[in-house]
Structure 1
Amino acid sequence: MRCYCVMHHSKPLELVERETPQPVETEVLVRVKAAGLCHTDLHIWEGFYDLGGGKRLNLADRGIKPPIILSHEICGEVVSAGADAGEVKVGGRFLIHPWIGCGECPTCLRGDENLCLKGRALGVARPGGFADYVIVPHPRYLVNIDGLDEAEAAPLACAGVTTYSAIKKLGDGIHHEPVVIIGAGGLGLMAIEVLKALGGKGAIVVDIDPAKREAALAAGALSVIDGKAADAASQIIAATEGGAGQILDLVGSAPTVSLAMQSARRGGHIVICGLMGGDLTISLATIPLRPLCIEGSYVGTLSELRELVELVKRSGMKSIPVSRRPMAQVNQAIDDLHHGKVIGRAVLIP
């Protein structure tokens, strides 16, 4: 089979021919039909996360080393299954939940495999979707997408479940006041759609790119704000009539978290999903005195992905903009995403 591999960090992916894997035991072999490109793929391609202060979290220190087959947003068709996989519908179309844990630790047993310390996520620790085929370790990770377009459904496995899980953490407040969304990339546009599907009050979107602000307005944002504006915090406070009660930071950089802190009202809730990195110095007294809730959110659980797919089917939730490209253009897609040229999601088609 053909696969596009990270052979050297920050270098173009290389086309490699490998034997098509054969599923054993509970494994399922899936023919890839669509594979999304995410900012997490960029971090893996670069080989590190920025921890701020000149510090890095190197993926090699976590055992993640080239060759790596990227892409964790995968839709495909079941080709075959191992002897212990049970009844699996050959020819069935599925979205794959990629956030796979060890399956044995207390974290996994309570359903939070995405938080497992021994994570085996597809496209990270296991081969991902930039290939003709992918092995899924168990059929429980297959989510039925009957009635949905494969390229439009693929981003639900990351952009979708990440924003859905984060919005759930905000609780019932989404029905009472708008959510301030920082970042109008694929996750930001997805968050707008998820909020609408859940009956939320809507979104005020912050981004430094005018094209992405226009995309947010086209998707139904109540208003947009230039994150580079000197008075961005004041604009957010004015738009939320005294300060934001709910902020979803989908960038996760020092400037965006600082902006969130400046514009949150007393009792505000900030959920950070983005991984752009940096560090933040805060006065600890401000957290109880204001008081603020600052919470991290990392992708989502298998049950949340199933909930999201059912929400999409039930509500008719619109897809985010998807740019379909041949898999052979994966390096151009990475370059475009790296330089902020992608509106919505780039999805590669083998």
Structure 2
Amino acid sequence: MRAWAVVETRKPLQEIELPTPEPTGSQVLLEVTHAGVCHSDLHIWEGEYDLGSRGKMLLSDRGVKLPLAMGHETVGRVLKWGPDAEGHGLAVGQTRIVFPWVGCGRCARCRAEEDNMCAQGRAIGIFQHGGYATHVLVPEPRHLVDPGNIDHALAATYACSGITVYSAINKVMPLAPDEAIVLVGAGGLGLQAISVLKALGHRRIVSVDLGAGKLAAAREAGASDTLDASMGDVTRRLLDLCGGPVMAVIDLVNGTETARFAFDALAKGGRLVQVGLFGGELTVPLPVMAMKAVTVQGSYVGNPKELRALVALGQSGRLPGIPITREPLAAADSALQRLRAGKVTGRIVLTAG
């Protein structure tokens, strides 16, 4: 199979030949048709994460091996499967969304379909080859979801940005439709979050980002209010905009500065859900945590049950799309660099053929 892979960190992706996997056991082999380009791919390409005072975490120390075909937002056509996958309704040529956040497949978390919480994560596109390739190997049929009537390029984004925001939103619900939910970041995740909230009937959606372009995209997607964080004194201006402290902030950037103003904006009993991997750390006054009964909670992608629920929401016709730019798979490196430069609105989705 051909792959557009990280061969050396911080160097251009290279087109290479890899052995096409032969499925065994419960595995399913798909031919890739669509692959989303996610901001998390940049961390893999860079080879490290910023852990604030704990320094850098090298992905090589986590077991990430090069060369690696990234890509964890994948749609493909079923080609073949192992003998243990028989009887699961598979047919050659079926189009399926790939759930990428797979684990060991054996522990209690995996068997409860909470694969993303497995302590031995083996995510597709991170620990094994993903969608920046002509083929992808999936551990089990349950990791495949039928997109139905959803545009396949949009459906690919549901495997990461979609379930990531859907899972984060579930952590702050239920809230009254006119209670402000603040979304920090109006990139691919932020626009997807606006779409999901609108589909769930929420009306007061406040988007915070830097610059007019991202905020215009947020308003176009359906945000009721926007705030430019480049103008300083973000907490005060956010409280003024929302009419006081807020019950829910979902930080899709999650850097030192965003986490600080997000925490400071919380109302009594409010919840900050941290999603992004920008880097840094948050120091909080512990008595305030108790006196205000606030919650700071991390949210890591989502699970197969949430992906199926999100796809059902999309198939209902209530879930608006996000801006999609289609590029050929061979343009994977230039697409990644455009994302790195902040020149992408919504999502780039790589397509085969």
Please state which band the TM-score falls in when normalised by the shorter chain.
over 0.9
Which consecutive unaligned segments of at least 5 residues does structure 2 have? none
Alignment of 1:69-148 (within 5 A): 69-87=69-87, 88-148=90-150
3-state SS, counterpart of residue 323 of structure 1: strand
- Counterpart amino acid of residue 77 in structure 1: R
2:11 is aligned to 11
Deviation at 1:341, TM superposition (A): 0.6
Structure 2 equivalent of residue 165 of structure 1:
167
For 1:109 and 1:64, locate their aligned partners in 2 and report how far apart those are by CA, in whole Å.
24
The corresponding residue for 1:208 is 210
SS at match of 1:228: helix
> Match for 1:266 among 265, 268, 279?
268
Give a deviation string over 1:37-60, Cα, whole Å, max 9, x none.
111111111111100137011111
Aligned counterparts of 1:79 and 1:45: Cα–Cα separation in 2: 29
Q: Deviations over 1:246-278 (max 9, x none)?
A: 101000100000010122222211101001110
**Rounded Cα–Cα distance in structure 1 between residues aligned with 2:309 and 2:30:** 22
* TM-score (structure 2 length as normaliser): 0.96
Q: Quote the residue 1:30 is aligned against.
A: 30
The normalised TM-score by structure 1 is 0.97
SS of residue in 2 equivalent to 1:170 = coil
Superposition pairs of residues 48-63 of structure 1, within 5 angstroms: 48-53=48-53, 55-63=55-63
CA–CA separation in structure 2 for the residues paired with 1:301 and 1:284: 31
Q: Deviations over 1:212-246 (max 9, x none)?
A: 11100111111110112223212211122111111
More displaced stretch, 11-20 vs 30-39: 11-20
What residue in structure 2 maps to residue 331 of structure 1?
333
Contact 2:203 2:224 in 1 (8 A): no
**3-state SS, counterpart of residue 325 of structure 1:** strand
Question: What is the rounded CA distance, in whole Å, between the counterparts of 1:232 and 1:335 in structure 2?
Answer: 29
Rounded to whole Å, the distance in 2 between the matches of 1:42 and 1:211 is: 22
2: CA distance between counterparts of 1:115 and 1:45? 23
- Unpaired segments of 5 or more residues in structure 1? none
Are the equivalent residues in 2 in contact too, given 1:12–1:331 (CA < 8 A)?
A: yes
Secondary structure of the 2:316 match is helix
Q: What is the aligned-residue RMSD (CA, Å)? A: 1.2
C-alpha deviation, 1:176, in angstroms: 4.6
Structure 1 CA distance for aligned equivalents of residues 269 and 84 of structure 2: 51
Percent sequence identity is 42
For 1:174 and 1:343, the matched residues in 2 are separated by 29
Q: Secondary structure at the match of 2:24?
A: coil
Please identify runs of 4+ aligned residues in structure 1 that moved more than 6 A.
none
Deviation, structure 1 residue 21? 1.8
Aligned with 1:329: secondary structure? helix
How many residue pairs get aligned? The number is: 350
Q: Is the 8 A contact 2:204 2:225 kept in 1?
A: no
- The amino acid across from 2:8 in the alignment is H
Q: Is the 8 A contact 1:207 1:213 kept in 2?
A: yes
Q: 1:155 aligns with which of 148, 154, 157?
A: 157
Q: How far does residue 127 in structure 1 lie from its aligned partner after superposition?
A: 0.7
Instruction: Give the Cα–Cα distance (whole angstroms) in 2 for the partners of residues 114 and 26 of structure 1.
Output: 19
